[in-house]
Structures are given as structure tokens and as C-alpha cells.
Structure 1
Amino acid sequence: MEKRGSLFLGFLFFSLVTISTGQVKEIKNSETLAMCPVPENSSPKGHSPKLFVFGDSYVDTGNLQPFRSSGGCVLTDYIASFLGINSPVQYEKRNLAENKAELKNGMNFAYGGSGVLKEAWNNHSMTIQINNFKQQIKEKVFTKYDLENSAALVSHAGNDYTYLYLNQSGTIKDVHALAGRVVDQLVKNVKEIHELGVKKIAILGSPPRGCWPQLNPRPRTNCNATWNEESRFHNQLLTEALKNVEESEKNAFVFLDLYKAMDLALQKNKENSDYENPLEPCCDGVSDEYWCGMKDQKGAEMFTVCRQPESSFFWDKVHPSQNGVHAIFLDLIPSLERLLLIC
């Protein structure tokens, strides 16, 4: 697979999205129950736990920048709505007066571009995010009772792997060899979140990265099998590691099979003639050196947005659109029901 060094800036701002076209607006935390609806029979009644979120742009709702990476709702928004709460306050916006009341929903520490290792697209590794969480506990923003009635959502879509491959000139063999280290640190992180008092932790598996437009050169008629195999290998190691945790922790962890959910959603989109090619991004740079949302030095927009974003599956070169995220969420509902056991 050809690697293009000019894509470094795009991956550095991994979840940089947009947009000034008027098709996308910032979603406020208090709007998510209405903006990101879930099936009526999926949202529990009278159930309002706190939700704490860790990871990357697949769950970041505004720590890196104000817009969600899907151009709309991300998995955090749907899962929060499923739990009967608004999307939790972003860590970076926790001190804003209008967000004080929203602390009752928890907090989102996720940061687009992060991984579990230090060598990722920014300096907001999951370890740093957990340290930020510890500080909130130390400052008594969240009490022991809050933690006992809480759930966590953890995402690792693959930034550690893409950073190695694209920025450190790694090979697929290097990516494969890194998986053990990544999974070990990821499991260490989720165990630490649990030890801090969070009762249930939903852990997203790796998506089929070979279907990402960024890692799947044209013509995009099928997904890249090699990258998808690496995603499955990561998930295999992760599920095996979760099975091997201490018996007292087993019921705390809920594996969310993002690979299966995204693969199924892509297949359904391919079969629906109303949708565009699901493997093509809706918002894309005018050339390989530009990403969705980027401008040149004169301020000119160097990207285009498809005519029907609601008919796309991928919003940009890495992230599903709101339509794609919603389809993925629907397949995750049976697993998410295990989170309801916290109360």
C-alpha cells in the first residue's frame, strides 16, 4: 500500500471536521437526547447513571475541536441517549458556566487522535485522560456514590497503529507486532478505571480499518483485506485478555464488537440503492494533501461535501457519518443492555 507523507497533517488533526457549508452545526450536550434519537424501546425509564468516556475521535464530542467527527452524532451521543441522559460534558469545557448543571451526566475525557501509547497523534493518551479523571475525583467533582452509579465508554479505533504506519514509516508487520503492547496497555487502562469505582465499562473493539477511505485506495469497491485482518487480530487479543481478567472483574467489562457492527452496516448500505458508495467519504479534500475541513493559507476551503450527507456511510476518510454511526449503534444495543445492570 502506498504511504503518502503529505497526509501527516490530516492525521495529526485526526478528527478535524467542519464545516462552514451550513450543513453541520455544533451539537450541544443538552440537545443530544433529541438530536441523536434511539429506538423507543431501548432507552430505560427512570435510569440515569453517569457516563465517563475515554479514547479517541470515535467518542470525542468536542475536546479536540467543537464539532463531532461524524459531522453530527457520534457513538457517545447515542449511548448516552440509550442510558437516558444527555451526552456528558467535555473535559475541556467543564468549567463553562452553562455546563455546570450537565456534570450530572458524567464527563467526556476522550480526545481525537489519541491512543493508549505515548507515541500517538497528540499528547492526550488514555493514561493522561485517566489522570484527568482522577483529578476530578480528588477535587470531589464526582463522589463515591456517583462512581458506584456510573458506566464508562472506552474507544481505541486504531491511532497507535496508524501513527506507527504513517508517521513512523512502519510496515504492516510492525503494526501486527505492536498489537500485543497496545492491548496490554488498553486492558491495564480499563482495569484502572474499574478500580477507581466505575461499575461497568463498555470497550469498543477495533473497527474494520481496511474499510476506511484513508487506508483503502481507489477504486473503493471492497475493503482492504490486510488492514481488516489486523483489526480482527487486535480484537482477538482484546477479547482473550478480557476473558483472562480476575473473576471479580469479568462482569465489569462489556466488549462492543465495533468490527461486526460496522461491517454489517456497510453491507446493508451496499444493498440499499438509495445510498452512495458506502466506502467513499462524503467530506473529502480536493487532493490527497487535504482533509475534510482544511483550508489553504488564503482561507479558501480545500474540501468538498457530498450533496446528500444523510445518504453517506463515511463522513470523512476515517469516521462514519451520523447515518453510519446510527446504523452501528443499532447493532450494539444488545451488548449495551448489559450496562443497565449498574443500578
Structure 2
Amino acid sequence: MAPSITSVVPLLFFLVFTVVEVEGAKKTYGVLDNNPLKLFVFGDSYVDTGNFVHSESYKVPNGITFPGTPAGRFSDGHVLTDFFASYLKIGSPTPYAFINSTNLQSGVNFAYGGTGVFDTSIDGPNTTAQIDSFQKLIEQNNITKQDLQSSIALVNAGANDYTNAVKDGKIFDLKGFRESLVQQISVNLKRIYSLGVPKVAVTLLQPIGCLPELNAILLHQSCVDLLNKVSIDHNKLLLQAVQDLNNQTGQSPFMMLDLYTSFLSAINIVDTQRQANSTLMNPLEACCEGTTLADSCGTVDDKGQKKYRLCDNPTLSFFWDLVHPSQNGWSIIFPIVQASLGHLT
């Protein structure tokens, strides 16, 4: 997801009315085919761990839970990449912006917050450009054939493309846009595989109608079903595309991570827990948000005064800001996602 999509909320109103460190799985030990495992990550802010260096991810209060100061994650702490890497029993891969010859042990994270499959309003590398950087490292032999043979890719992108399409008016041909988007995702997945990565995990689109920035029109009392249908239709098409890719290879190297179902299940879990524990936050509300529509989590004025509100205890929240889960949120989401990861071993 992008750092903020406040500017497109009015158009989405129109649209409405016309998915802490997690304990790794016992069967996975950071190796694949007897070689140290490496993780290569592509996508947006849900998986970016530090590439967008001039963003709110490096501003207080991001990182307040982990590591205690801003560290380039769009959250108060760990994000999806961290949980996925922990499941694999490896460290989070180094952000591409900070790689050198000595810190590639766990792989490389190419993801860049706010970007998409296509270009978005963020001046950063889309997924194709991220894969270009990956290929360049391979050609330079910074990533070796042996590295690739024992590697897994994680791909999360698409949500920013839909919000950007709203701003550009492309959303009025939603079916055509969705088809072109999923087709390009398919091209990207196939390319990553062709570069030598034997396992490629791609996420389904989260239920965007549950994001606090969008469910605000329902006073954070429920998700916006009509917006969630955008995710549902996208995911149906993506599932078919991935099945087609697996049929082409005959080896099923492509796998889905179901963020859609996992988000909904996790939200329901927290909502049920709130009935017995009133200290838990409403899972559909953000812990950190700007004091006006023009502000966001971390915004300050010229005098350094805060222009955002922060909840009393981020560790009890589900959403960190208007679009990103908190570390606690991801810690509830990921064990549900994990159920689909058994065949990685």
C-alpha cells in the first residue's frame, strides 16, 4: 500500500455509491536443498523494510514498538516481510538501498513503499523496475546461481495501482484495468521464476474496504463491502493466472498467500476478543492518524509540533495508520497466512 491515499477518498465515495517476530514453523530451518535460504522481496509498503528513505517510514512515531526508533517500515514494528522471513528461520533480507558485499546472507528486499505493478504517484521503482534491479545483481554475480537455487521470492503489489487508477480515471473501466493489472503481475511472476527462483509466493489483495481510511465512511463500524468486491474480483482473476502459470511449468512453483481471508479472519478474532477485553482497540480504527485530512501519521508543522494523534498503546491496535497493519495486526494475520506455507519445505 501507499503511505497515504487520502487524496483519493472522495473518488472512492463515488465508487461505493455507483491480509513481534513470529515463531517459525517447526518444519522449516532456513535451508532449501541443503543450501542457506535466501528471500527476495518485491512490492510496496506492506513488505518494504527500508527502501523508501525519504518517507514517513523514517519519521517518528514509526518503529515505536520495534526497534524503538523509525527504521524504514510503515508500521510501529515488524511488517509482513519480517514475519515471512522469521517463518523461514532467516533474518529479514537487506533493503536494496543498503546492500553491500557482506550483507546479502538472507537475500535482498527490493520493495518500495507507495509503488505498484504500474507507475503510481510515488516516484519510486514499480515492480518491473524492482525486478530489473534483481536481474542486474544476478548479472553482476552479486547473487549467484547457488543463491538462486536456494531462494524464495515474496511479491506483494496491486493495491496502490487501484488507488492510482481512481485518481487517473481508469477505474471507470474497472474490468479492463483489472485484466491488464493481473496480466502484468503474471508477467512479473514468470520473469522472477525465469531468473532462477524456484519458489515464488504472491499475495492476494487485502480487503481494501476494511482499511481505516476507507471504512471511515461507515464510522469504523464495518468494512465497505462494495470496495471489498474490488479485491474479490482481483483475487479471482489472479488465482486463475497463477494456476495457469503452474500448469505451464508442471511443477507448481507459484503459490498464493491469502491476505484477503487472513485479514477478515484476524479482524473477526480481535473483534471477538474485544467483547471480553475492552482495552483492545477497534480493529477497524487506526492507532496513528493525522489531525486533518492533509496530515498523516508522523506529520509535524514548521515548529516541529505534532499534527497527528497516537493511540495509548500501539501493541493493542490492529491497524497502525490508515492503511497499514500494526505489528500486532501482522502478528494475528500471519499465523492464518502461514497455513498455506507448508509445501515450501
TM-score by length of 2: 0.83
Q: 205-214 or 60-69: which moved more?
A: 60-69
In 1: Cα distance, 2:22 partner to 2:215 partner: 31
Unaligned runs of 5+ in 2: 10-19, 54-70
- Matching of residue 55 in structure 1 with residue 40 in structure 2: no
Say whether the 8 Å CA contact 1:278–1:313 is kept in structure 2. yes
Matches for 1:79-228 after TM superposition, within 5 Å: 79-95=84-100, 100-165=101-166, 167-169=167-169, 171=171, 173-218=172-217, 219-228=219-228
Unaligned runs of 5+ in 1: 11-34
In 2: Cα distance, 1:243 partner to 1:140 partner: 32
Q: Kindly report the root-mean-square deviation, in angstroms, between the aligned alpha carbons of the 2 structures.
A: 2.1
Q: 285-294 or 185-194: which moved more?
A: 285-294
**1:234: how far off?**
0.5
In 1: Cα distance, 2:121 partner to 2:238 partner: 19
Note closer, same or farther for the CA distance 1:205–1:40 as it changes in structure 2 (3 Å cut): closer
Q: 265-274 or 51-60: which moved more?
A: 265-274
Q: 217-226 or 134-143: which moved more?
A: 217-226
**What SS is found at the alignment partner of 1:284?**
strand
In 2: Cα distance, 1:103 partner to 1:284 partner: 35
Q: 75-84 or 249-258: which moved more?
A: 249-258
In 2: Cα distance, 1:7 partner to 1:235 partner: 24
What residue identity is the alignment partner of 2:179?
Answer: G
Q: Give 2:63's aligned residue.
A: none
Q: Give 2:6's aligned residue.
A: 7
What residue identity is the alignment partner of 1:105?
Answer: S
Say whether the 8 Å CA contact 2:154–2:201 is kept in structure 1. yes
- Matching of residue 320 in structure 1 with residue 305 in structure 2: no
Percent identical = 39
What residue identity is the alignment partner of 2:26?
Answer: N
**What SS is found at the alignment partner of 1:254?**
strand
In 2: Cα distance, 1:154 partner to 1:312 partner: 25
In 2: Cα distance, 1:108 partner to 1:226 partner: 33
**What SS is found at the alignment partner of 1:304?**
strand
Say whether the 8 Å CA contact 2:170–2:177 is kept in structure 1. no
What residue identity is the alignment partner of 1:49?
Answer: L
Per-residue deviation, residues 200-253 of structure 1 (Å, max 9, x unmatched): 001011000000011222411010111100001110000011111243165110
- Matching of residue 242 in structure 1 with residue 242 in structure 2: yes
What residue identity is the alignment partner of 2:203?
Answer: L
Per-residue deviation, residues 8-58 of structure 1 (Å, max 9, x unmatched): 499xxxxxxxxxxxxxxxxxxxxxxxx513256364376641000000001
Note closer, same or farther for the CA distance 1:39–1:138 as it changes in structure 2 (3 Å cut): closer
**1:270: how far off?**
0.6
In 2: Cα distance, 1:255 partner to 1:87 partner: 20
**1:339: how far off?**
2.2
TM-score by length of 1: 0.84
**1:74: how far off?**
0.6
Say whether the 8 Å CA contact 1:151–1:199 is kept in structure 2. yes
Matches for 1:280-291 after TM superposition, within 5 Å: 280-291=285-296
Structure 1 runs (4+) deviating above 6 angstroms are none
Say whether the 8 Å CA contact 1:242–1:250 is kept in structure 2. no
How many correspondences in the alignment?
A: 306
**What SS is found at the alignment partner of 1:184?**
helix
In 1: Cα distance, 2:5 partner to 2:188 partner: 33
Note closer, same or farther for the CA distance 1:6–1:75 as it changes in structure 2 (3 Å cut): closer
In 1: Cα distance, 2:49 partner to 2:30 partner: 25
What residue identity is the alignment partner of 1:242?
Answer: V
Say whether the 8 Å CA contact 1:210–1:228 is kept in structure 2. yes
Q: 202-211 or 296-305: which moved more?
A: 296-305
Note closer, same or farther for the CA distance 1:297–1:169 as it changes in structure 2 (3 Å cut): farther
- Matching of residue 68 in structure 1 with residue 45 in structure 2: no
Say whether the 8 Å CA contact 1:279–1:313 is kept in structure 2. yes
Note closer, same or farther for the CA distance 1:237–1:110 as it changes in structure 2 (3 Å cut): same
Say whether the 8 Å CA contact 2:159–2:205 is kept in structure 1. yes
In 2: Cα distance, 1:36 partner to 1:6 partner: 28
